[in-house]
Amino acid sequence: MSVGKMHADEVDTDVSLVRRLLAAQFPQWADLSIEPVRSAGTDNAIYRLGDDMAVRMPRIQWAMRQVDKEQEWLPRFAPHLPLAIPVTLAVGTPGEGYPWNWSVCRWLEGENATIERIADPCRAATDLAQFIVALQKIDTTGGPLAVNHNLRGAPLTTRDTATREAIAALHGLIDTDTATAVWETALRAPEWDRAPVWFHGDVLPGNLLFERGRLSAVIDFGGLGVGDPAPDLMIAWGLFSGESRDEFRAALAVDDATWARGRGHALSQALIFVPYYLETNPVGVANARHAIDEVLADYRDNV
């Protein structure tokens, strides 16, 4: 059984391939059960291995360097962070026709974030803000700079062309005039002028795990980098609203310019996501449409 495709040009994976790779490289795990994991994640195909492990396989070329980045940095981060993050147990190499490095990680229990699964949205907002603050305090020496690696923590202007193209592509589906106004407001906001800090880069509902209604883990650090922390505000519109959004902002002590850039990142990510994944990722598209609606409503309420 395979994991459904997200990209027209992605590399196919299935249970048989995973088992052959394990047999060749990690035979101690080759006889464990392997089950594909249904996920709205776009960069990696995930297979549960036994009861307490997962195999992560990059789907597409742009994701191939994420394995090495996570292996290098996440063990250093884990002692400093208040929530669980992925732990890489082994890194596999190309083989059996599969072209890239892949990883075996510890399985993290929990369900992806939805507002229905959050027992206390304000508590979740505070818990996540504390995680982001702790991440920002970690020493950035040697970290991948956003401006050098095409990551979200670079200035918003680097996303201008793609964002405007996405707005045009969604004409008739969203309020494109308000979307343009939000985007241009974000572009006018002063850029981050302090020392660059660590950011996760993809804090979206699909990368947050909840157990018994409480935020328990943050996963998928493929977008990790050093730069402007504004991208990690995307979740303010992707999951929170009203009081919980206010709690999130207050716990982070975010200034107006960074908040505006964060709202721009939330809009940009969602706008670009919808047309690309419209036919392949219904959960991700629903999340993106929700974020667009929240961003536009927030802007209208505050102009």
- Residue 60's pLDDT is 85
- Residue 4's pLDDT is 67
Which CATH number characterizes residue 46's domain? 3.30.200.20
Residue 165 and residue 68 share a domain: no
Mean pLDDT (whole number) for 187-210: 96
- Residue 168's pLDDT is 96
Half-sphere exposure of 141 (CA within 13 A, CB side): 2
pLDDT tens profile 6-60: 777 789 999 999 999 999 999 999 999 999 998 767 789 999 999 999 999 999 8
Neighbours of 90 (CB within 10 A): 16
Residue 122 and residue 70 share a domain: no
Residue 3: inside a domain: no
When pLDDT is cut at 50, 70 and 90, the band that residue 100 belongs to is: very high
- Residue 40's pLDDT is 65
Which residue in the block uniquely carries the two structure tokens 């995930």? Answer: 46
Residue 138 and residue 24 share a domain: no
Mean pLDDT (whole number) for 255-270: 98
Checking if the pLDDT of 1 tops 50, the result is no
When pLDDT is cut at 50, 70 and 90, the band that residue 249 belongs to is: very high
Which residue in the block uniquely carries the two structure tokens 């660590």? Answer: 198
Beta bridge partners of 49: 34, 53
Which CATH number characterizes residue 160's domain? 3.90.1200.10
Nearest to 34 by CA among 71, 3, 70, 67: 3
Residue 7: inside a domain: no
What separation in angstroms does the CA of 155 have from each of 190, 235, 261, 262? Answer: 10, 19, 9, 11
- Residue 3's pLDDT is 57
Q: What is the DSSP letter of 172?
A: T
CA-atom Rg of the chain in angstroms: 19
Take residue 289 and report the two structure tokens written for it.
């449409």
Among the candidates 47, 79, 106, a domain finishes at 106
Residue 116 and residue 98 share a domain: no
Lowest mean pLDDT among 33-37, 60-64, 230-234: 60-64
Residue 143 and residue 231 share a domain: yes
Nearest to 143 by CA among 87, 196, 90, 201: 196
How far is the C-alpha of 225 from the C-alpha of 149, rounded, in Å?
8
Checking if the pLDDT of 288 tops 60, the result is yes
Among the candidates 73, 89, 106, a domain finishes at 106
- Residue 77's pLDDT is 97
Nearest to 89 by CA among 134, 29, 35, 135: 29
Residue 80 and residue 51 share a domain: yes
What separation in angstroms does the CA of 21 have from each of 18, 31, 36, 45? Answer: 5, 12, 15, 14
Neighbours of 163 (CB within 10 A): 22
Checking if the pLDDT of 116 tops 90, the result is no
- Residue 123's pLDDT is 97
- Residue 114's pLDDT is 78
How far is the C-alpha of 291 from the C-alpha of 248, rounded, in Å?
16
62-71, 167-176, 275-284 — most confident range? 167-176
Nearest to 179 by CA among 291, 101, 38: 291
Percent of the chain predicted with pLDDT > 90: 83
pTM of the model: 0.94
Q: Give Cα 264 to chain centroid, integer Å.
A: 16
φ, ψ for residue 111 (rounded to 5)?
Answer: -115, 150
Residue 124 and residue 87 share a domain: no
Range of the domain at 255: 111-302
Residue 172 and residue 88 share a domain: no
Mean pLDDT (whole number) for 193-209: 96
Q: Can you list the positions of beta strands (E) in 78-213?
A: 88-92, 102-106, 111-112, 197-199, 208-211
41 contact partners, CB below 8 Å, separation of at least 6: 206, 207, 220
Residue 129 and residue 62 share a domain: no
How far is the C-alpha of 60 from the C-alpha of 11, rounded, in Å?
6
Residue 1: inside a domain: no
Checking if the pLDDT of 286 tops 60, the result is yes
Residue 191 and residue 47 share a domain: no
- Domain count along the chain: 2
Residue 5: inside a domain: no
- Residue 2's pLDDT is 45
Residue 244 and residue 169 share a domain: yes
- Per the document, the length of the chain is 303
Q: Taking all residues of the chain, what is their mean pLDDT, rounded to a whole number?
A: 94
pLDDT tens profile 236-247: 999 999 999 999
